[in-house]
């Protein structure tokens, strides 16, 4: 059985704090409902809502 590995990528346009990749996809699935390709994420630095993308890294197995 192969397991897919995912990474969440987002960047805050308001404060330019850099990457907002602190939450794993499992945690995001628990907290958010909707399309997994685009998820609303709050920036931990300024609180601005931005779109995050769930990117498949590859297969592990």
pTM higher than 0.75 for the full model?
no
> 12, 50 in Cβ contact below 8 A?
yes
pLDDT digits (tens, 9 = 90+) for 6-61: 666 677 777 766 565 555 666 666 666 556 667 777 777 777 887 777 677 665 54
The strands making up 3-9's β-sheet, listed across from edge to edge, are 3-9, 49-60, 38-42
pLDDT value of residue 1: 46
What domain range includes position 31?
3-60
Asked whether the predicted pLDDT for residue 2 surpasses 60, the reply is no
How does strand 3-9 pair with strand 38-42?
unpaired
> 5, 57 in Cβ contact below 8 A?
yes
pLDDT value of residue 18: 58
- Structural domains counted in the chain: 1
pLDDT value of residue 53: 72
């Amino acid at each position: 059985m192969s397991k897919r590995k995912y990474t969440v990528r987002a960047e805050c346009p308001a404060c330019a704090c850099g990457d907002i990749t602190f939450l794993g996809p499992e945690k995001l699935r628990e907290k958010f409902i909707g399309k997994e390709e685009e998820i609303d994420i709050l920036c931990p630095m300024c609180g601005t809502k931005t779109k995050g993308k769930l990117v498949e890294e590859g297969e592990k197995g």
